[in-house]
Amino acid sequence: MAPHSKHLVISTSKEDWPARIEDMESPNLAQSLKSMLKTEEHHDGHHSVMISNSSFNRIVDLRTKYGLEHEGGFTSAYLFPDFKFIPIIGNDSDTQNRLVRAFLTRDKYPAPVVEGRRRSSPGLESIFPRTADVTNVIILICGHASRDKRCGIMGPLLKSEFHRLLNERTGGAGPRITGLWHPSRTSIALCSHIGGHQFAGNMIIYVPPRLRLGGGLRLFSKAHPLAGKGIWYGRVEPRHVEGIIEETIVKGNVIAELFRGGIGRNGDTLAL
């Protein structure tokens, strides 16, 4: 998987896309943003951005969901390792240019550094309303069948196995303590090509920054060892899923034989 300091994951409500996601029908946020990032204004050879499509559902009714109106259509996306959900991204070029400046190339347009991380530009919330912190564990599994049939076969199998095992763990009970992991606090999606078809099944696990280890009251719990990080696994098979849930998600351990790399809270590349 190619090193990157940002990963934008676009919600499309689809489980497969053209071999090149830039060739998907319009409106195509991936194509627009990739084009912008190649321009002299935004290009930065030291700041790589990975853009993926995902099967996460698009919000289709802003009025019902947020009580808002938006002309011209919109798209939603997740941003890592910022761990932000941006539900309303207009399909117009001006809004998308602001998105690039505010989130994807912010090192070129510096904002104040707070707690060791760059904060977004002033007025960002008004430009992208309802932007929220991601608090669920996010599991992205490559299922890009039109790009490579191996991913197209393995991706849905892994997604189904994660759902099955997490549902077994849920047992009908919801989370009781804020900040502690619970199976219901896991969101799973297929995504487009993330590199290395020969390593299928490929997946990324994004662990939210505030996640803590379970097993007791939050006051006495410990920070999750992988909080704020993304862990990349390859050659994952359904037989590995239970171990990934228990070791990586529950306990915060990296499984060395599956590990292909990772991304830290500040966009740094992780290694064992």
pLDDT of residue 134 exceeding 70, the answer is: yes
Work out the average pLDDT over 99-113. 67
Exposed, middle or buried by CB within 10 Å (0-12, 13-18, 19+), for 221? middle
pLDDT value at residue 193: 93
The top-scoring range by mean pLDDT among 1-10, 170-179, 253-262 is 253-262
pLDDT value at residue 45: 63
Residues 107-125: pLDDT tens digits?
544 444 444 444 445 455 5
The top-scoring range by mean pLDDT among 52-56, 93-97, 103-107, 129-133 is 52-56
pLDDT value at residue 56: 95
- Give the count of alpha carbons within 13 A of 110, CB side only: 4
Interatomic CA distance for residues 28 and 20, integer angstroms:
12
pLDDT value at residue 191: 97
pTM: 0.87
Helix (H, G, I), strand (E, B) or coil at 203: strand
pLDDT of residue 54 exceeding 50, the answer is: yes
Which range among 2-11, 23-32, 39-48, 169-178 shows the weakest confidence by mean pLDDT? 169-178
Interatomic CA distance for residues 222 and 214, integer angstroms:
8
C-alpha 108: how far from chain center: 23
For the record, the structure tokens of 47 come out as: 């700041």
The top-scoring range by mean pLDDT among 154-168, 171-185, 189-203 is 154-168
Task: Please enumerate in sequence order all residues whose Cβ is within 8 A of that of 172, keeping only pairs 6 or more positions apart, or say none.
Answer: none
pLDDT of residue 215 exceeding 70, the answer is: no
Residue 216: phi, psi to the nearest 5? 175, -175
pLDDT value at residue 46: 60
Average pLDDT over the chain, rounded to an integer? 84
pLDDT of residue 199 exceeding 80, the answer is: yes
End-to-end CA distance of the chain: 15
Please name which of 133, 134, 156 lies closest in space to residue 143, comparing C-alpha atoms.
156
